[in-house]
Amino acid sequence: MDLEALKEAVIAGDSKGCMLLTDVAIQAGHSPQKILTEALVPAMQIVGDKFRCNEVYVPEVLVAARAMKKSLGMLKPLLTQTGVKPVGTAVIGTVKGDLHDIGKNLVGMMLEGAGFEVTDLGSDVAPEKFVQAVKNTGAQIVGVSTLLTTTMLGMKDVLRALEQADLRQKVKVMVGGAPVTQAFADEVGADAYGESAATAVDRAKELLGIK
């Protein structure tokens, strides 16, 4: 079975088809990582491109996102069933004012798949919530995502809040999301920039000195 049909089902927003084809892909022996990176992520990228070109509109995007989430829900237990001691702990969330969560969810799942214990704060997360979560969980990494240029500077607020709470020296901060660049990450004083969910895992491991 190739993964093209699953990709098409996400693009078409066919939730039932997505669940069925995800099951078929798993049964055919495709790894959850492969299903994610070769079907779900590229499908959502295509939907994003179509949205940008006004070929589809918000309702279609939402339906595609919902279909993708159904597949993700089926992959999550497979990605996370390592059953071993976590290699690290992370708190992740999308900045205040930003409701986009698909990319951030992928980052969370990929981190979990790589053995991290992840606390996902969701989207539209205020800086003080990141601070509280670090205090509650003792997380080693804070991952901040944003998709909007208008909320990018919210990342700086998260870094400032961590500093004010005297936590900045204790945690590593990684930023990512479509408008974010390495230059922006440097500008706001983040410790790492994750270009994709896969590279976010590499960066997180590097931050903790894990090979």
- Would you count residue 148 as binding ligand B1M (CB under 6 A)? yes
Q: Is 83 or 151 the residue whose CB approaches ligand B1M more closely?
A: 151
Residues touching ligand B1M, count (CB under 6 A): 38
Please identify, among the stretches 24-32, 40-48, 72-80, 113-121, the one whose residues bind ligand B1M according to the rule CB under 6 A: 40-48
For the chain, how long is the longest CA-to-CA vector?
53
Question: Taking the complex as a whole, how short is the minimal distance between the CB of residue 209 and ligand B1M, in angstroms?
Answer: 18
CA distance 4 to 7: 5
Q: Which of 107, 133, 134, 162 binds ligand B1M (CB under 6 A)?
A: 107
Give the pair of three-digit tokens for residue 166.
Answer: 């005297």
Helix axes 4-12, 41-52, angle to 10 degrees: 40
- Would you count residue 99 as binding ligand B1M (CB under 6 A)? yes
Pairing of strands 141-145, 172-176: parallel
**Residue 148: CB partners within 8 Å, gap ≥ 6?**
97, 98, 100, 179
Residues forming contacts to ligand B1M in the complex (CB under 6 A) are 41, 44-45, 48, 51-52, 58, 61-62, 65, 92, 97-104, 106-107, 143-145, 147-150, 174-179, 194, 196-197, 200
